[in-house]
Amino acid sequence: MDLGLKGRTAVVTGASRGIGLAIVSALAEEGVNVVAAARTVPPALRESGAIPIAVDLSTAEGPVELIARALEEVGEIDVLVNNVGGGDGGGQVSGFLGFDDADWLAVHSLNFLAAVRTTRAAMPSLLRRGGAVVNISSNGARMPHAGPVTYTTAKAALTAFGKAVAEEFGPQGVRLNTVSPGPVRTALWEDPEGYGAALAASMGLSLEQLLAGLPGATGMTTGRLVEPAEVAALVTYLASPLAASVTGADFVIDGGAIKTV
């Protein structure tokens, strides 16, 4: 299926691995000129065909720098994918009392304010192009108890932000949608030093035992973790002209874990 994206431009944040790298690859395969932002640029990102930009989006200056450089590299921006996130790594399984102010500020800066700042910087160009924004949130935004409270509440704010911006800028031609994955087969869960490993240790399990039982424990009726390419396919569709009447929506892709309507 031709999604009508060939020759368009996109900026993808958090692009070095996992969901972000999969989104970069999916957009590039559709003929999109992609600017890929990450703190570091690994070989896989360099080989993706995207234009890599090393930038720290957790700072106030990073998003402004990114969009300025993207405009220089590819011209006007048709698509912005706010994927950057983190702060749900190893060592964050102690609960609410385990987080101090610095933890809250760091996680919300990366998972929420980075998207706010990048969207604000890109919006003039998106308005000129009638562009589309896709924010990558989490099904944890609907189940804040399901992960580190700093992370899930930041994602809840991101989801609400998407609704508000879609309402304001929809009449001006810019669409904004949110994609909320459940557990995805990424380093977050599979890295021996990541959140999955820390969670497993806190439960007296090996990482392999945790991963084997995770789909059932979280109610994923598919019986497996979500693949990054599956999230990327949904994002690519939402970025395309085929989704011209889709805006202000939050698409959960979590294997059926959320049971509410």
Both 25 and 125 in one domain: the answer is yes
Kindly state whether residue 161 falls inside one of the protein's structural domains: yes
Same domain, 132 and 194: no
Same domain for 80 and 205, yes or no, is no
Note whether 32 and 89 are same-domain residues.
yes
Question: What CATH number is given to the structural domain containing 36?
Answer: 3.40.50.720
Q: What is the per-residue pLDDT for 1?
A: 83
Same domain, yes or no: 26 and 112: yes
- Strand order of the β-sheet with 51-54 is 51-54, 33-38, 9-12, 79-82, 132-136, 175-181, 250-253
Point out the catalytic residue in the list 99, 151, 169, 195.
151
DSSP state of 29: H
CB atoms within 10 A of CB 101: 7
The reply to whether 41 and 130 lie within a common domain is yes
Q: Are 92 and 198 in contact (CB under 8 A)?
A: yes
Q: Please tell me whether residues 112 and 221 are part of one structural domain.
A: no
Q: Is residue 68 situated within a structural domain? A: yes
The answer on 20 and 122 residing in a single domain is yes
Same domain? For 148 and 211 the reply is: no
Nearest to 38 by CA among 69, 6, 66: 66
What is the pLDDT, as a whole number, of residue 82? 98
Active site (annotated) includes residue 151:
yes
Predicted confidence at residue 73, as pLDDT, reads: 97
Same domain, 109 and 125: yes
Q: Indicate if 43 and 123 belong to the same structural domain.
A: yes
Let me know if residue 53 belongs to a domain: yes
Residue 175 structural domain? 9-182+230-251
CA-CA distance, 160 to 152, in Å (whole number)? 12
Q: pLDDT value at position 93?
A: 75
- Residue 133 in domain: yes
Cβ pair 240, 5 in contact under 8 A = yes
Whose tokens are 């949904």? That residue is 234
- What domain count does the chain have? 2
Residue type, 99: F
The answer to whether residue 125 sits within a structural domain is yes
Indicate if 67 and 90 belong to the same structural domain: yes
From first to last of its 261 residues, what are the pLDDT tens digits of the chain?
899 999 999 999 999 999 999 999 999 999 999 999 999 999 999 999 999 999 999 999 999 999 999 999 999 999 999 999 986 554 567 789 999 999 999 999 999 999 999 999 999 999 999 999 999 999 999 999 888 899 999 999 999 999 999 999 999 999 999 999 999 999 889 999 888 888 899 899 999 999 999 999 999 999 999 999 999 999 999 999 999 999 999 999 999 999 998
In a domain, 39, yes or no: yes
Cα–Cα distance measured from residue 87 to residue 68, given in angstroms and rounded to the nearest whole number? 26
- Classify residue 174: in a domain, yes or no: yes
pLDDT of residue 86: 85
256 found inside a domain: no
